[in-house]
Structure 1
Amino acid sequence: MARFARSTLLLGAIAAVAMGATACSTGGANEAAGNVSNEGGKERTLLVATGASPKPYTFQDEAGNLTGYDIEILKEIDKRLPDVAFEFQVAEFPALFAGLDSGRFDLVANNLSATKERKEKYDFSDPYIEAQFGIILPKNSSVKDVKTLDDLAGKKTYGEPGLNFTRVLEEYNAQHPDKKIEIEYTEADLQTQYKNLATGGIDFLFNERVVYNGYGGQKGLNLDFKPLDGGYLTKTFGTNLYSAYAFSKQKPDVEKNVQEINGALAELKKDGTLKKLSERFFDGVDVTPKTAG
């Protein structure tokens, strides 16, 4: 049975809270975080951390309930694995990785790209998203077309520390020291970032199509999405277009957990549940992987 515990982590104490705090569960004292032995038929309770952003991957609805594509997949997996129960906890984005590093969290559900660097530190499930990355521009932008990031040299954008998009921009700047993109690091929410783009605070945003659809495409902000070739991003920057659940290697039974969740993911893909969830959260778009991840 899935359970949800909300935890607010102060930025000044992210690492400490992620490594040592006790989840505040709405279900009672017996809902302790972390792995619970399966001896005697008991469930293994896995603590799932999420930043509850960006929507529609993970977010809290108007009633405060945690939902989103990443979250609802795990709820479906929960139904198919009688020996596993998920407990969800909301944390600031940097604390997600601190919690995996320390073994505080069993896994993270936050539309994470399974990059080469991350795979060295964490185990990953099979992918459940194949993304389309692109550049978002105001319709009155002086930049009329974007084929590569070279077309954005000298332009200003936001970068959130730790995100795959920011890493790509940083790698571009390292490769082009004389034609850098100006990155303003921010922790502003996506709604604010898109509004600031529309009003001229920055020149562009680098994001996924489905995030653009949710925060810019349907908000009357006069923005355009310019898709970037996935082959170019993969070859030039090692970009991983696939999202998966990240697992802490510090936790017991991690291999078993990954194997069981992968088995359930395969069932969800085969019976069409993944596709239905994708179309539900992404306005009819099927983001399930179509090619090998």
Structure 2
Amino acid sequence: MKRNHYLFVSLFLLAAGTLGGCSSKEATSATGDQVILVGTQNDYPPFAFADDNNELTGYDIEVVKAIDEKLDGYEFEFVAVPWDSMFLALESNKIQAIADQVAKTPERQAKYLFTDESYFAAETVIAVKSGREDIQTVEDLEGKAVGALAGDSYTLLLEEYNETAKTPIDLKYSESGNPSEILQDVQNGRVDAYVNDPIMIDAVLEKNDLGVEIVGQPLVNDDMGIVLKNGEQGEELKALVDPILEQLKQDGTLAKLSNKWTGGEYIPE
């Protein structure tokens, strides 16, 4: 079995040029493997977050590690990147892949390279202050203040809704880029609601003991894929990673990891 080293690299090192100026073909590990820098958030439990030892962990992290165990010639190292900088880091080659619950939307697939195989099936729900009864559907959000993160699939859904809405949703874009802070804003009444993944929401609510609850039915369902840097190396990696993801799905590894981190099997068919 190949020897793996997992590195938690802070973004300021990339910005300073320590790693940002070299391609992964130029970066090799001690074993001679090509290093692929994988961007992910450090505050999106239970998928990608920093634990008490400040090490990245979570479902997405362990999926990538499971892929790396079966992939010779490459070594994955994790880079903590804020969501609003994630795709810019990919485009500028500061990272060569993203594993961060990225939904495979048509717009993103037209611009970025996704694995054909998805590794998680996510829902989109509405969260409001506990006891609030006037919001159940996306139509109920019209004219109300809703917390948002620029560029994520949940915000894009609401932005698209606003294009035809009689009364647009008042999207309040977070400066911190931190979902837990938006959920605190929901509890404190600074915004009326937040739209995101129910598993992440439940994890944050439990950790922070917030008076927020999920209401109504899921708005949409999305399949999540690994995003790779466009180009020859990305295409090469995609051809190698897709069969491994399929294998991890068939042998039950993804289901096992999903149960471990989310309490259920949310694996695309």
Q: What interval of TM-score do these two structures reach, taking the shorter chain for normalisation?
A: 0.7 to 0.9
Structure 2: 5+ residue runs without aligned partners? none
For residues 37 and 186 of structure 1, the distance between their equivalents in structure 2, rounded to whole angstroms, comes to: 35
Map of 1:1-293 to 2, 5 A cutoff?
Answer: 1-9=4-12, 17=15, 21-23=17-19, 34-35=24-25, 42-125=32-115, 126-143=117-134, 145-146=136-137, 149-176=138-165, 178-188=166-176, 189-216=178-205, 219-229=208-218, 233=220, 241-250=222-231, 252-282=232-262, 284-290=263-269
SS of the equivalent of 1:131 reads strand
Query: Is the 2:8–2:55 contact (alpha carbons within 8 Å) kept by the matching residues of 1?
Result: no
Letter in 2 for 1:156: A
Measured on the aligned residues, the alpha-carbon RMSD in Å equals: 2.5
For residues 264 and 27 of structure 2, the distance between their equivalents in structure 1, rounded to whole angstroms, comes to: 39
SS of the equivalent of 1:183 reads strand
**Structure richer in strand, relative to its length:** 2
SS of the equivalent of 2:52 reads coil
For residues 264 and 243 of structure 1, the distance between their equivalents in structure 2, rounded to whole angstroms, comes to: 16
Structure 1: 5+ residue runs without aligned partners? 11-15, 25-31, 234-239
Query: Is the 1:51–1:93 contact (alpha carbons within 8 Å) kept by the matching residues of 2?
Result: yes
Compared CA separation, residues 215 and 129, structure 1 to 2 (3 A): same
Compared CA separation, residues 94 and 219, structure 1 to 2 (3 A): closer
Query: Is the 1:9–1:92 contact (alpha carbons within 8 Å) kept by the matching residues of 2?
Result: no
For residues 278 and 158 of structure 1, the distance between their equivalents in structure 2, rounded to whole angstroms, comes to: 27
Query: Is the 2:149–2:173 contact (alpha carbons within 8 Å) kept by the matching residues of 1?
Result: yes
Deviations 1:263-289 (A, max 9, x none): 11111111111111111111x211111
For residues 158 and 260 of structure 2, the distance between their equivalents in structure 1, rounded to whole angstroms, comes to: 31
For residues 140 and 149 of structure 2, the distance between their equivalents in structure 1, rounded to whole angstroms, comes to: 21
SS of the equivalent of 1:193 reads helix
Letter in 1 for 2:261: F
SS of the equivalent of 2:37 reads strand
Query: Is the 1:35–1:106 contact (alpha carbons within 8 Å) kept by the matching residues of 2?
Result: no
SS of the equivalent of 1:191 reads helix
Query: Is the 2:128–2:214 contact (alpha carbons within 8 Å) kept by the matching residues of 1?
Result: yes
For residues 169 and 207 of structure 2, the distance between their equivalents in structure 1, rounded to whole angstroms, comes to: 27
SS of the equivalent of 1:137 reads strand
Aligned residue pairs: how many?
A: 261
SS of the equivalent of 1:265 reads helix
Compared CA separation, residues 131 and 45, structure 1 to 2 (3 A): same
When normalised by structure 2's length, the TM-score is: 0.87
Compared CA separation, residues 51 and 217, structure 1 to 2 (3 A): closer
For residues 114 and 5 of structure 1, the distance between their equivalents in structure 2, rounded to whole angstroms, comes to: 26
